[in-house]
Structure 1
Amino acid sequence: MDLQINDKVAIVTGSARGLGAATARKLAAEGARVVITDVLAEQAEATAAALRADGLQAHCIVADITKAADVQRLVDETSATFGGVHILVNNAGFPRDKYLVKMSEQDWDLVMEVMLKGAFLACKTVMPHFIDQGWGRVVNISSRAHFGNPTQANYSAAKAGLIGMAKALAIEEGRYGITVNCVAPGFMETEMVQALPTYDTIKERAVQMQPIKRVGKPEDIANAVAFLVSEPASFITGEVLHVTGGRYG
């Protein structure tokens, strides 16, 4: 299928590694010009360099998406480098898992700031560009955790919030040719997850609860995002695509 995103410009937040890096690579392979952005400067630069080494169009901008000035600089530099911006993937985020009675205010605030405030600032900053050109794609990376997980009150709330934001923006911005959707991953084999001391136990439990008996790969998410930002998906908005191997609860 021709996704018709050749020469579109895509910003993927939190794309130094993991799901974000895989998504950026997929979009670039489909002909998009991608911006790798993260607070992990060295890893972000390496990811962008690896894409360029493979003949793909990529640029690195180190930015903290919880800061409005950084996000404005990110969008301005993207536009100056590639001549515009058409696609935003709000991927940045991380867990700070604890039972609620042991969860600190900082554990709550950090998760909310990066995932929700970061997505808000990024959407707000790119939206004038999308409106002016009459075309835009936003994909928020939510999670199966939006159904709720123990020790993840903060993470589950943030991921559910990304869905609510997407549904509201889908209604608000659809008249301008802009679609806003979510991808909700299940258990994914990323570097961050593999580094957990309980990785093997988590992996075994997740696979047991899935109809499809394998772990998810970053490429599974990248493929879902690539479809949702494509022209063939232009009549899909306000939706949540679960990429979970069939696990929901």
Structure 2
Amino acid sequence: MELEAGQVAVVTGAASGIGLAMAERFAAEGLKVVLADVEEAALDKAAARLRGSGATVHARVVDVGERDSVRELADDAYATFGAVHVLCNNAGVGSGAEGRMWEHDPNDWKWAFAVNVWGVFHGIQAFVPRMIEGGAPGHVVNTSSGDGGIAPLPTASVYAVTKAAVVTMTESLYAHLKAEGAAVGASVLFPGPHMLRTGLWESHRNRPDRYAKERPRRTPYRSLDQWEAAMREAGREVEFTPVEYVAEVVVEGIGADRFWLLPPSEHSDRQIRARARSMLDRAEPSYLERFVLD
């Protein structure tokens, strides 16, 4: 798909981080952008920032975990701009789960799946049939993560499970679009290759009451700055990838009709090979050992 001025891009989780960077990059290509996010104040700020740069913007508060909310977003986008050419199912949360997997609060799983998995499916179901029916070239980008999408980080197992699901969902979407002969493509995005400064670490600020923890958290939430400081004290400097780089990977990947939006990374390549080798050899997943919980 060739991005052209006048096309329309819808981005969820667009008020900050990767979502905002993608929206800004699409706007730089002359696309009209629809920003969707659950955090109204941040969404208004992001929309004003884009409009200030000359972009054509429509913003809507959306809870992607609610099917009706996403369907209303689609209705609104089509009523406003008449078409959608790019859909980025990008909204995501960390779960805030603690301890061993069997100790996790069930609502940590329910909330993470509602946003990270159901949110992607809701976007596909609300937009893709209309994108196909429109007949114009289009593209769907679903945001996964190296944590789960490539190999799970056991200390964040709930998040990893949801992001693994996004990969399989996108593979299935790709196959269905091909079988349909649609002019719509699909990609799965692995932001990176290093850590990113996003609001994922503070996801709990937007946690709905319906997914409240059933029991109090044993330890306080830790911010990205606090985690980075702890790593520095341990003698480890953390590398960060600018969100603008991720947005560039997305734009370039859409243009090339690339399914795997996976930035070059020796670390990721090692994980992919180690996991594949473990499966082919029917061997234990030794690639997880360095992440075993203490």
The verdict on how the C-alpha distance between 1:114 and 1:191 changes in structure 2, with shifts beyond 3 A counting, is closer
Task: Tell me, yes or no, if the aligned pair for 1:166 and 1:181 is still in contact at 8 Å.
Answer: yes
Structure 1 residues 246, 32: closer, same or farther in 2, change over 3 A? farther
Amino acid in structure 1 at the alignment position of 2:165: G
What secondary structure, in the 3-state scheme, does the structure 1 residue paired with 2:154 have? coil
Contact 1:183 1:243 in 2 (8 A): no
Aligned residue for 2:262, secondary structure, equals strand
Question: CA, structure 1 residues 35+84, in 2 after alignment: closer, same or farther (shift >3 Å)?
Answer: same
Give me the whole-angstrom Cα distance separating, in 2, the residues matched to 1:202 and 1:102: 26
Structure 2 gaps of 5+ residues are 203-222, 272-294
Q: Does 1:125 align with 2:147?
A: no
* 1:200 CA displacement: 3.1
Amino acid paired to 1:140: N
Residue 37 of structure 1 aligns to a residue in which SS?
strand
Structure-2-length-normalised TM-score: 0.75
Cα drift, residue 4 of structure 1: 2.9
Percentage of pairs with the same residue: 30
C-alpha distance in structure 2 between counterparts of 1:228 and 1:106, whole Å = 35
Q: Is 2:115 the partner of 1:114?
A: yes
1:240 is aligned with what amino acid? W
Q: Structure 1's 136 and 200: CA in aligned 2 closer, same or farther, altered over 3 A? A: same
Q: State the Cα distance separating 1:95 from its structure 2 match.
A: 0.9
- What residue number does 1:137 align with? 139
Q: Which whole-Å CA distance do the structure 2 matches of 1:47 and 1:8 have between them? A: 20
Gaps of 5+ in 1: 208-213
Contact 1:163 1:240 in 2 (8 A): no
Give the SS at the match of 1:215: coil
| One-letter amino acid of the structure 2 residue matched with residue 190 of structure 1 | T
C-alpha distance in structure 2 between counterparts of 1:243 and 1:202, whole Å: 24
Tell me the matched-pair count.
Answer: 237
The one of 184, 189, 196 aligned to 1:188: 196
Q: Give yes or no for contact 2:94–2:200 (8 Å, CA) kept in 1.
A: no
Look up the match of 1:74. Answer: 73
The offset of 1:193, in angstroms, is 4.6
Counterpart secondary structure, 1:152: helix
Worse-matched range after superposition: 130-139 or 22-31: 130-139
- Paired AA for residue 145 in structure 1: D
Q: What pairs up with 1:59-208 in 2 under 5 angstroms?
A: 59-96=58-95, 97-99=97-99, 100-134=101-135, 135-146=137-148, 147-174=151-178, 175-186=181-192, 187-193=195-201, 195-196=223-224, 197-202=226-231, 205=236, 207=238
| Aligned Cα root-mean-square deviation (Å) | 2.1
Distance 1:87 1:7, change over 3 A: same
Partner letter of residue 184 of structure 2? I
Q: Is the 8 A contact 2:17 2:243 kept in 1?
A: yes
Structure 2 SS opposite 1:185: coil
Correspondences of 1:217-232 after superposition (within 5 Å): 217-230=242-255
What CA distance in whole angstroms lies between the structure 2 residues aligned with 1:12 and 1:160? 21
